Amino acid sequence: MSGAQEAALAAQKQDIRSRWLLSAPALLIIFVAAIGPLFVMLFYSFMVKGDYGDVKFGEFSLEGWTSVFFERDIFDDTLGLADAHLSIIWRSIQLSFFTTILTVILGFPTAYFIATRPPHTREIWVFLVTIPFWTNLLIRTFAMQQVIRNEGLLNTALLWLGVIKSPLQIIYTDTANLLGMTYVYLPLMVLPLYASIEKLDFRLVEAGYDLYATRFQVLRRIVIPLVKPGIIAGSILVFIPSLGAYVIPRVLGGGKNMMLGNLIEMQFGSGRNWPLGAAMSITLMILVTAALIIYVRNASRGGNGHV
Amino acid sequence: MTTKLITTTALAAIATLAVASAASAAGELNIYNWGDYTNPELIKKFEKQFDVKVTVTDYDSNDTALAKVRAGGHGFDVVVPSANYVPIWIKEGLIEEARPDQMENFKNVDPRWVDVPWDKGRHYTVPWQWGLTGIGVNSKVYGGDINTSAIFLDPPPELAGKINVAPEMNDVLFATIKYFGGEWCTMDKEVLRKVRDKLVEAKSKWLAMDYSVTEKLPAGDYSAVYYWNGAIMRSRLKNADIKFGYPKEGFPFFMDSVALLKDAKNPENAKLFMNFIMDPENAAMISAFAKYSNGIKGSEKFLPAEMQTAPELVVPAEFEAAGSFLESCEPETQQLYTKIWTELQK
């Protein structure tokens, strides 16, 4: 081996080492602040629950896990599916799914509009999309509450215009949750969609028109397949936080119909069942991971991967 | 007691700001109390009198407070648990035997609140406020009898779909168990089955299980509530159509009491505070703010006139017997109740 090669190899090693060193603080934070607590949760989920919250250390039990999906009937003690938990999980999945669909429908035209502006004005539009992030989630949720409540902006306006005779009951329904989540998570859909549409080669669209494609055909056969990675990335960004939503169902849903986040909170509060809460949190993570796996598979099949 | 997490933060912030200006304080006191429950004027007065810098931190449920204090490193000196939680705090070794019964102002405590089941002879805790969970109805919407839990369990058609129920497991289960003639902490499956079925059926006629009553009951978003009396009184002061009812089948009393934490950093200031709030004039300040009764004799004459005769606070003799205190049930019972409660929220 020549000296030059050796030197190059040494330089490469040096380079790798310095990269590791540079990323060490971030890795450390991720390990200490994210992965560490996860192990604590995993550990707690296998403990016996304490009488007044907490767990009894050193007493192992699978009950936390089995009671996520199964429960003994309150009255005849038969083991059956945990109907309450499953319907709450199912509601969370459904609402998150519809939120994702709604944000795609609303976000796509927005992103398309931004991406087709002259380059120097695009930045202003993107900037406008990010403005809601300047405000705390809780405050945005309360703002939404003021809009849709019975005495709120929307109902007052509709009553005044004579469109409706009595206020629409929107707040404290699943519709309110859906509206709230769509409003809060919409920017998370618009941004990746924009990034993807911006890269779209509009000569392909022109070629489509030249070949007598209708506008709908161009959208369906050319634009959507090309921006699919953006749609998928946006969907993941919207779907995941929706699944774990806590504040929105509490403020807009009226606390009457729980979502998974609220169910978990209850176990650590008045439910006094920390192992169950821990097991549920991990179940939520598994759901999220499953969604991510589907995404990765989808993206790799699409060929051009993530934007 | 209740969570009032929503309207509170601003008040807490104001209180903290007011407190921060007392720069030359000789000591500190960290109070951990329910949100929207501590009169900032009372705090100011205490700070001035004893030259102590007070910080108030809010919590929204007994379980939150319990979990946080047990985790350690909280830095609080006093906490204000509800009656049914005091035995847990004692049992878990979290609060100190501060012997308020030997303090100077203890003579002012109403004898009714001295030999309480959760703290016999008051060796640990000082009364803060007490109240009950009852019915609030907008009389413009419904004019019938409101002294019954049927308002939220078998709602009249006028009220269906406009009802808010306190999202507090114990209070709701208590009234429902009593509605079917059961005893609190019962494990009787027959009664509990009726309770579960009734709640599931009734819930379809509820609008929400939320804490924002003082705002939404007067505004008309809710036409009826099962909620804490002080909050309903505050609603009535904003809207005179709000009437208060005592569920004749049975309703829960609550009392929140001030206790000294075992790992308090400022135990002496905490004791000063405990003695301070047993003074009738100061106790009246507590009530004037949150609109619940206190347990101190002689505080009545310092109360705002509107509170001395308030129908929400002065329990009529005929309903007195229907009320009883929420005791803390055995863990197995609690677990069973939690299951019913979870089923209700699916």
Residue A291's pLDDT band (cuts 50, 70, 90) = confident
Distance (Å) from the alpha carbon of A80 to chain B's nearest alpha carbon = 14
A169 closest CA partner among B147, B222, B103, B33? B222
A63 closest CA partner among A262, A273, A260? A273
Q: What is the pLDDT of residue A4?
A: 81
Tell me the three state secondary structure of residue B6. helix
Residue A59 domain-assigned (yes or no): no
Claim to verify: residue B221 and residue B97 sit in the same structural domain = no
Q: What is the pLDDT of residue B57?
A: 95
Tell me the three state secondary structure of residue B207. strand
Answer for the pair A190, A105: CB distance below 8 angstroms, yes or no. Answer: no
CB contact under 8 A, A271 and B338: yes
CB contact under 8 A, B345 and A83: no
Element (H, E) at B192: helix B189-203
CB contact under 8 A, B343 and A83: yes
CATH number of the domain at B44, please: 3.40.190.10
**Cα angle: A77, vertex A81, A86; to 5 degrees:** 135
Question: How many whole angstroms separate alpha carbon B332 and alpha carbon B338?
Answer: 10
CB contact under 8 A, B208 and A149: no
Residues of A with Cβ-Cβ distance to B61 under 8 angstroms: 269-270
Residue A225's pLDDT band (cuts 50, 70, 90) = very high
CATH number of the domain at A133, please: 1.10.3720.10
Claim to verify: residue A243 and residue A105 sit in the same structural domain = yes
Claim to verify: residue A195 and residue A294 sit in the same structural domain = yes
Question: How many whole angstroms separate alpha carbon B192 and alpha carbon A75?
Answer: 9
Claim to verify: residue A281 and residue A203 sit in the same structural domain = yes
Task: Give the number of C-alpha atoms closer than 13 A to the C-alpha of residue B272, restricted to the C-beta side.
Answer: 19
Claim to verify: residue B68 and residue B32 sit in the same structural domain = yes
Claim to verify: residue A31 and residue A86 sit in the same structural domain = no
A129 closest CA partner among A34, A84, A194, A35? A194
CB contact under 8 A, A172 and B161: no
Claim to verify: residue A210 and residue A291 sit in the same structural domain = yes
Answer for the pair B161, B205: CB distance below 8 angstroms, yes or no. Answer: yes
Residues of A with Cβ-Cβ distance to B67 under 8 angstroms: 53-54, 268-269
B234 closest CA partner among B143, B310, B141, B159? B310
**A41-61 pLDDT, tens digit each:** 999 999 998 888 888 888 899
B contact set with A (CB within 8 A): 61, 63-64, 66-67, 70, 88, 92, 161, 164, 167-169, 189, 192-193, 196, 203, 206-210, 216, 219-221, 331, 334-336, 338-343, 345-346
Distance (Å) from the alpha carbon of B299 to chain A's nearest alpha carbon = 34
Place of tokens 């790798």: A16
Q: Among A106-120, B302-316, B331-345, whose mean pLDDT is lowest?
A: B331-345
Structure tokens that stand for A244 in this block: 């774990």
Other C-beta atoms lying within 10 Å of the C-beta of residue A3: 7
Question: How many whole angstroms separate alpha carbon A196 and alpha carbon B343?
Answer: 44
Residues of B with Cβ-Cβ distance to A52 under 8 angstroms: 66, 88, 92, 331
Place of tokens 């019913």: B340
A294 closest CA partner among A42, A102, A97, A108? A97
Longest dimension (CA), chain A: 89
Claim to verify: residue A6 and residue A155 sit in the same structural domain = no
Place of tokens 């609008």: B207
**B105-116 pLDDT, tens digit each:** 999 999 999 999
Claim to verify: residue B216 and residue B320 sit in the same structural domain = yes
Asked if ipTM goes beyond 0.90, one says no
Residue A54 domain-assigned (yes or no): no
Question: How many whole angstroms separate alpha carbon B199 and alpha carbon B153?
Answer: 7
CB contact under 8 A, B210 and A271: no
Question: How many whole angstroms separate alpha carbon B299 and alpha carbon B302?
Answer: 5
Tell me the three state secondary structure of residue B89. helix
Claim to verify: residue A32 and residue A115 sit in the same structural domain = no
Claim to verify: residue A148 and residue A246 sit in the same structural domain = yes
Residue A70 domain-assigned (yes or no): no
Residue A301's pLDDT band (cuts 50, 70, 90) = low
Claim to verify: residue A112 and residue A257 sit in the same structural domain = yes
Question: How many whole angstroms separate alpha carbon B132 and alpha carbon B320?
Answer: 11
Residue B10's pLDDT band (cuts 50, 70, 90) = very low
Paired strand residues for A51: A53
Claim to verify: residue B100 and residue B222 sit in the same structural domain = no
User: Span B151-158, mean pLDDT?
Assistant: 96
Claim to verify: residue B167 and residue B181 sit in the same structural domain = yes
Number of domains in chain B: 2
Instruction: Give the per-residue SS3 of chain A.
Output: CCHHHHHHHHHHHHHHHHHHHHHHHHHHHHHHHHHHHHHHHHHHHCEEECECECEEEEEECCHHHHHHHEEECCCCCCEEECHHHHHHHHHHHHHHHHHHHHHHHHHHHHHHHHHCCCHHHHHHHHHHHHHHHHCCHHHHHHHHHHHHCCCCHHHHHHHHHCCCCCCCCCCCCHHHHHHHHHHHHHHHHHHHHHHHHHCCCHHHHHHHHHCCCCHHHHHHHHHHHHHHHHHHHHHHHHHHHHHCCCHHHHHCCCCCCCCHHHHHHHHHCCCCCHHHHHHHHHHHHHHHHHHHHHHHHHHHHHCCCCC
Residue A8 domain-assigned (yes or no): yes
Q: What is the pLDDT of residue B6?
A: 42
**B89-108 pLDDT, tens digit each:** 999 999 999 999 999 999 99
Residues of A with Cβ-Cβ distance to B66 under 8 angstroms: 52-53
CB contact under 8 A, B346 and A258: yes
Q: Which of B192, B210, B335 sits opposite A255 (nearest CB)?
A: B210
CB contact under 8 A, B208 and A270: no
User: Span A260-284, mean pLDDT?
Assistant: 90
Claim to verify: residue A105 and residue A203 sit in the same structural domain = yes
Q: What is the pLDDT of residue B17?
A: 44
Claim to verify: residue A130 and residue A266 sit in the same structural domain = yes
Claim to verify: residue A101 and residue A14 sit in the same structural domain = no
For B20, list phi and psi in degrees, rounded to 5. Answer: -65, -25
Claim to verify: residue B206 and residue B327 sit in the same structural domain = yes
Q: What is the pLDDT of residue B25?
A: 45
Q: Which of A51, A263, A270 sits opposite B331 (nearest CB)?
A: A51
Q: Could you tell me the residue range of the domain that residue A110 belongs to?
A: 82-302
Element (H, E) at B198: helix B189-203
Q: What CA dihedral angle connects B304, B305, B307 and B312, to 10 degrees?
A: -160
Q: How many Cβ pairs within 8 Å bridge chains A and B?
A: 93
Could you tell me what percent of chain B has a pLDDT over 70?
Answer: 92
Q: What is the pLDDT of residue A2?
A: 67
Most trustworthy range by pLDDT among A30-34, B13-17, B127-131: B127-131
Place of tokens 């009852």: B134
Number of domains in chain A: 2
Claim to verify: residue B150 and residue B125 sit in the same structural domain = no
A206 or A296, greater pLDDT: A206
Q: Give exposure, B176-201, as e/b (b: 16+ Cβ within 10 Å).
A: bbbbbebebbbeeeebbebbbebbee
Residue A77 has pLDDT above 60, yes or no: yes
Other C-beta atoms lying within 10 Å of the C-beta of residue B217: 27
Beta strands in chain B (DSSP E): 27-34, 52-59, 78-79, 115-116, 119-120, 125-138, 163-165, 206-208, 224-228, 242-245, 251-260, 323-325
Question: How many whole angstroms separate alpha carbon A102 and alpha carbon A75?
Answer: 42
CB contact under 8 A, A74 and B346: no
Claim to verify: residue B102 and residue B162 sit in the same structural domain = no
Task: Give the number of C-alpha atoms closer than 13 A to the C-alpha of residue B78, restricted to the C-beta side.
Answer: 30
Claim to verify: residue B117 and residue B136 sit in the same structural domain = no
Claim to verify: residue B109 and residue B166 sit in the same structural domain = no
Claim to verify: residue B126 and residue B51 sit in the same structural domain = yes
CB contact under 8 A, B63 and A74: no
Residue B16 has pLDDT above 80, yes or no: no
CB contact under 8 A, B345 and A75: no
Q: What is the pLDDT of residue B73?
A: 86
Residues of B with Cβ-Cβ distance to A51 under 8 angstroms: 331
CB contact under 8 A, A255 and B338: no
Q: Which pTM was predicted?
A: 0.81
Claim to verify: residue B195 and residue B94 sit in the same structural domain = no
Q: Which of B161, B207, B342 sits opposite A84 (nearest CB)?
A: B342
Question: How many whole angstroms separate alpha carbon B166 and alpha carbon B186?
Answer: 21
Question: How many whole angstroms separate alpha carbon B118 and alpha carbon B295?
Answer: 15
Structure tokens that stand for B232 in this block: 């309903």
Residue A307 domain-assigned (yes or no): no
**B216-254 pLDDT, tens digit each:** 999 998 999 999 999 999 999 999 999 999 999 999 999
Query: Distances from the Cα of B69 to the Cαs of A88, B88, B227, B269, in angstroms?
Result: 30, 12, 27, 19
Q: Could you tell me the residue range of the domain that residue B9 belongs to?
A: 5-130+255-308
